[in-house]
A and B are shown apart, each in its own frame.
Chain A
Amino acid sequence: MQVSITKSDNALNVAVSERLDTNTAPVLEKQILDQIEGITSLTLDMKGLAYISSAGLRVLLLLHKTMAAKGGNFVIKYPCDEVMEILDMTGFSSFLNIEE
């Protein structure tokens, strides 16, 4: 998994690529949570992400809840067809803010 994080004012933009699975999901979760204080806008760019497992879905759920609790905004951008299929199948696409 490759992660690139840029922070400006109260916005955190995270680009994640390759695989988000049992091994990598906790790493991504920690990297984002470590910088989330004061953040009101979180964007997760999934353009380069080829696979997401349930562990990855749980990170998305945690980030959604964390941002919602502070009235912030969480947007997922550009998931590939395979990742989108998982988000649809599990019903995650019905509550996550997704830009294709």
Chain B
Amino acid sequence: MSAHSDSILLQYDHYLPAYQTIATFVKETLQSFVKEAGLLVSKVSVRVKTRESLAGKLALKGDKYADIKSITDIVGGRIVVFFSDHIEKFAAKVESTFDIDWDNSVDKGKLLHVDQFGYTSLHYICSIPEHLYKDEGHPEINQFKFEIQLRTTLQDAWANIAHDTGYKSDVEVPAEYLRGLNRLAGLLELADENFCQIRDSINQYRFRVKQLVRDGDLSAIELNIDAFEAYLENGGFRKLNERIASINNMEIEEISLRNFLPIFKNLGLQTIKDLDDLYKKYSDLAYRFAFREFDGKDVDIITSATAPMTLCVVYVLSMGMGEPVVKMLLDAALGERKSNARRAHRLAQIGQHMGLTKNDTGDDDGE
């Protein structure tokens, strides 16, 4: 180690508290970017380079640096995003928040020639403007530069693995391995682009499904979670719940009905129209069934699951599937419980009394 490098290491020791202050500020700021953007990201990290790591860097190219201030990655921050088009949103925040050293900041993607693949990540060399943070006793906090990297999870994985080869730069990597690494970088770039396209397609599909459900054009809509939620948002089982609630002037507590989707699918429904047809066909019967359950009972609150559950029970009993299938229905909706058998028996009894099914409850009479 040269005397020059030793002197830089001594400066590092002296200014370490200032670098730690910078790191804390940068981390809080990057986290606030993520919170404000409302985007899910893979990782926000900030680190202060260790003395050992700096010593290694100086051993390789210590002469390149005049002093500690000329080393711009003592503090390094990173936001790792899931979608490549989120990078530009955070880039805009970085540029408008920190002072950027444009001469040394690089968009590695733009450095590549059109016929090259390789590491594409956005690196900013920044400093903290005084209007954001100022400590009279430590003016170096606004003078020291630090690095912020913005990359996708795939770029991050590529960079970490490439770094793990032990080569510090492209120049050091043997040509045959460099070709392999670059080929993978091209593949990951394509994957990043495809992830954005798939996400956009899903969003467009959800929007289209909502419109179709709203317009009542139900036959072409496959029964899946997006379509089911759109159906629920559009009123779904509300009217039947309100009719049932009117039996005892009951309050309806809204709960998630997502767990009914696999149940309806297991009943053989394939489209939202199938679901809507079932709803229209069996609503009156479900209401009469619920009336037998609730009339005269000291209950004035139900959940929104009452309508779909009653519909399913009435459908199963009307189709002659009987008590065992009602129990399977309860197991699917509530999880397997001891009381489901007793409940299924009770529901089958009501169905029998309504003439929905022949006596398969094992009872001659019921209630």
Interface residues of A (CB under 8 A from B): 53-54, 57-58, 61, 81, 84-86, 88-95, 98, 100
B221 within 8 A of A: no
B301 touches A90 (CB 8 A): yes
Contact present for A91 and B298 (CB under 8 Å):
no
Contact A90/B339 with A54-B300, A61-B253 known, Cβ cut-off 8 Å: no
Is B333 close to A, CB under 8 A? yes
**What 0/1 pattern do residues 236 to 279 of B give for CB contact below 8 A with A?**
00000000000000000101100100000000000000000000
Centre residue among B255, B259, B333 by max chain A CB count within 10 A = B255
Q: How far is the CA of A86 from the CA of B298 in the complex (A)?
A: 10
Select from chain B the residue with minimum beta-carbon distance to A84.
Answer: B339
Q: Which one of B27-35, B53-61, B79-87, B304-312 is at the interface?
A: B304-312
Instruction: List 13 A-B residue pairs with CB atoms under 8 Å apart, sorted by A's residue number.
Output: A54-B301, A61-B253, A84-B339, A85-B346, A86-B299, A88-B339, A88-B343, A89-B299, A90-B301, A92-B303, A94-B255, A95-B256, A100-B339
CB under 8 Å from chain A, chain B span 292-321: 293-294, 297-306, 309
Inter-chain CA distance A89–B347, complex, in Å, is 10
Answer whether A94 and B259 are a contact pair too, CB < 8 Å, given A85-B346, A88-B339, A100-B338: yes
Contact between A94 and B334, CB atoms less than 8 A apart: yes
Residues of A close to B309: CB separation below 8 A: 91, 94
B side interface size, CB within 8 A: 26
Known: A88-B339, A100-B339; 10 extra A-B contacts, CB below 8 A, are A54-B300, A61-B253, A85-B346, A88-B343, A89-B299, A90-B299, A91-B303, A91-B304, A92-B303, A94-B259
The answer on a CB contact under 8 Å between A98 and B337 is yes
- Contact among A53, A84, A95 with B255 in the assembled complex (CB-CB below 8 Å): A95
**Chain B residue at smallest Cβ distance from A92:** B303
A53-B305 contact in complex given A94-B259, A100-B338, C-beta closer than 8 Å: no
7 cross-chain pairs, A with B, having the tightest CB-CB distances, nearest first: A91-B303, A91-B305, A54-B300, A94-B305, A84-B339, A100-B338, A91-B306
